[in-house]
Structure 1
Amino acid sequence: MRALTLVPGDAGSLAVEDLPDPQAGPGELLVEGLVMGVCGTDREIVAGEHGSAPDGEERLVLGHESLGRVLEAPAGSAFAPGDLVVGVVRRPDPVPCGACAREQFDMCRNGLYTERGIVGRHGYGSERWTVEQEYAVLVDPALGDLGVLVEPTSVVVKAWAQIDAVGGRAWFAPERVLVTGAGPIGLLAALIGVQRGLDVHVLDLVEDGPKPELVRRLGATYHAGPSGKVMDELEPDVVVEATGARQVVIDAMSRTSHYGVTCLTGVSATGRGVQVDAGALNRDLVLENDAVVGSVNANVDHYRGATDVLAAADRDWLGGLVTRRVGLDDVHDALRARPDDVKVVVDLRTTA
């Protein structure tokens, strides 16, 4: 089979490689890889910034946003040949910590987890792959290739669960949400806000291209002004921050309504700073009972919640998120970000 592999830490090592076909072990599914989503994490791994191969191996099979079709399933399992499935990314640490022991490996306390296509486990970027049945999630066949959106949707399903948990400290009935960033994570976070019946606003830099139109088609309001000004005007009850931009992060933490909840899902680059009035930020957070929570990754329940979110969404709108599709041979092109990109996917069945 053909697979997308690299040597972690070596920025010039990305290649499409011929590997032996995998064999399903006990309790595993054998899956035909259909499509693989590309995100910033993949680009960072390809650039040599992080990632690790399985123990004893030099190369890592890339790909954590998956969609495949079951070829073989264990007798008596919940899966059958022909089912569409996605594979969960993270696996619990072997100790395990208290969270991992309770299947909440997205909240691992000691950092000894592994992740498909990222840390210590081969990913889903191959023509065939295997997955333990307990880490496979069924996808509505009506979604077709759009099932590749399950993994990024699981990330924001978890983010909203964190918002609910934090807000649940007291009476919590948010009305207005601001999502900062109109990439896949931001747009999917906005989708959930709309499905919840909230007044949803999305802030991004661009004023044209697919992003503003996708927000409007969703029934939300698009903004392209300075983050502080937009937040002062809106006074959102909830902010889902999906850019990692330093000033936007600071504005998000300090400009919500009283008892506001800010959920940070974007990761900021290190090495540069912004001026912050730490006293004013502290005063606002304390006196307004505000809360800031970080959220990353997802567990199996979040993946299942993601399939529900996507099944309830408008198919044409979801299709608009996929702005580029390339074949496996053109994967280098997929990994080069373009200004109008939202979600780029690699078709693992295409060799041209």
Structure 2
Amino acid sequence: MNGYTSRGLAASVDRGGRPTMRALTVRPGVRASLRLDQVAEPGPEEGSLLVETLAVGLCGTDVEVIDDGYGEPPPGEDVLILGHENLGRVLEAPDETGFSVGDLVVGIVRRPDPEPCPACAAGEWDMCRTGRYSEHGIKGLHGFARERWRAEPDAVVRLDSSLGDLGVLLEPTTIVAKAWEQVERIGHRSFWSPQTVAVTGAGPVGLLAALLGAQRGLDVHVFDRVTRGPKPDLVRALGATYHHDSLPASFLRADVLIECTGAGQVVADVMTHRAPDAIVCLTGVSGVGSRVPLDLGAVNRQLVLGNDVVFGSVNANRRHYDQAAQALAAADDEWLRRLITRTVPWDRYHEAFERRADDVKVVLRIRETGR
């Protein structure tokens, strides 16, 4: 049973006599397998830091793991603990770790290839070349939707305590921190003076991409289909422009385009509607099998003659967590708080996965932060 009870939450020890705790589990590939169950407490072999979970953010990847068979349990197990967006508080920290009891922390999601490829060996596990990396709550490692977890210090990031429960936004912010870093690295291949950025999608990642664009002093435009709810106001509160029409219909030629939907037609739009020397960053993961009419010859011609760049970006390494923490610290707390449209106690976890029209970011509350 790998430390898992067969059903129910009454057990305080597993069949091997080990103490247990609650966790949100799923069997990848098995429909309707999401449940709040009892699992074994983390052992010291998992890391010298012991952390209690305060909150877990939910995103489309979690839904894919639950509904679409995406995800992979740890080797030798058939159950995966869910949750990669996370916030916790240190319960145990040996002196040599550099952490203290009570520190507010976030666990880093991706861990390197066990036989490090050159990128992983250099700390660039987000650029792993072998695909043998692991990811908490997604691929080969249990996630953070459990009462307690352990990790080594190099897999944990300390947050300023003033961030409080908003620290649960750190992991999604790392995604766009990396995207912006890569955009700027590419931009400096030549003369670099961007003025306008277009962001497609006003979900959490799109809104955080817009936040980082506004922090850079750019003219930010965000495109989404909705006309009501919090998204238009959140965009305008950044001093950005909200569009509910399509990117081509706006006649906007952007220097930087950050695509956050994964929708095939939107991807095609951002690849064909930009300024010369433009940079297109794709962060949305598309479904397989969708077909969109696209003149590849015209796309190639525009890319070559315009010195344009289209690239993909996923995940983040440690420096992106540091960059994200700086971005959140510089942001307006009230604006960040408005991103979290629902906070659901985890004993009502099914409600958290109900799609509601006004949802932006939904968070499972595991324990109060004290703020």
**Superposition TM-score, scaled by structure 1 size:** 0.97
Residue-by-residue CA offset, 1:60-111 (whole Å, 9 max, x unaligned): 1100001000001121222100110000000111221110110100000110
SS at match of 2:89: strand
Which residue type is aligned with residue 89 of structure 1?
Answer: V
Alignment: residue pair count: 348
Show the 5 A alignment for 1:26-105.
Answer: 28-105=48-125
1:320 Cα deviation from its structure 2 partner: 0.3
CA distance in 1, matches of 2:244, 2:175: 24
Residue-by-residue CA offset, 1:216-267 (whole Å, 9 max, x unaligned): 111111011122112xx22110000001111111110111100000000001
Does residue 1:114 correspond to 2:134, yes or no?
yes
CA distance in 1, matches of 2:64, 2:351: 15
CA distance in 2, matches of 1:119, 1:292: 27
Q: Runs ≥4 in structure 1, deviation > 4 angstroms?
A: none
SS at match of 2:274: coil
Correspondent of 2:269 among 222, 247, 251: 251
* Corresponding position of 1:290: 308
SS at match of 1:260: strand
Show the 5 A alignment for 1:125-144.
Answer: 125-144=145-164
Which residue type is aligned with residue 328 of structure 2?
Answer: L
* Corresponding position of 1:219: 239
1:7 and 1:13 in contact (8 A); partners too: yes
Which residue type is aligned with residue 18 of structure 1?
Answer: Q
Residue-by-residue CA offset, 1:249-307 (whole Å, 9 max, x unaligned): 11101111000000000011111201101111111111010100100000011011111
Percent identical among aligned pairs is 55
Choose between structure 1 and 2 for higher RCO, CA contacts under 8 A separated by at least 6 residues: 1
1:185 Cα deviation from its structure 2 partner: 0.3
**Superposition TM-score, scaled by structure 2 size:** 0.92
CA distance in 1, matches of 2:43, 2:93: 12
SS at match of 1:82: coil
* Corresponding position of 2:298: 280
Correspondent of 1:155 among 144, 169, 175: 175
* Corresponding position of 2:340: 322
Correspondent of 1:168 among 188, 191, 194: 188
1:23 and 1:30 in contact (8 A); partners too: no
Which residue type is aligned with residue 39 of structure 1?
Answer: C
Which residue type is aligned with residue 133 of structure 1?
Answer: P
Does residue 1:17 correspond to 2:40, yes or no?
no
1:162 Cα deviation from its structure 2 partner: 1.0
Tell which deviates more after alignment, 171-180 or 326-335.
Answer: 326-335
CA distance in 2, matches of 1:95, 1:254: 40
1:25 Cα deviation from its structure 2 partner: 4.0
Unaligned runs of 5+ in 1: none
1:6 Cα deviation from its structure 2 partner: 1.1
1:92 and 1:108 in contact (8 A); partners too: yes
CA distance in 1, matches of 2:52, 2:115: 32
1:172 Cα deviation from its structure 2 partner: 1.0
1:70 and 1:83 in contact (8 A); partners too: yes
1:179 and 1:189 in contact (8 A); partners too: yes
Unaligned runs of 5+ in 2: 1-20
1:162 and 1:293 in contact (8 A); partners too: no
Task: Report the aligned-residue RMSD.
Answer: 1.2
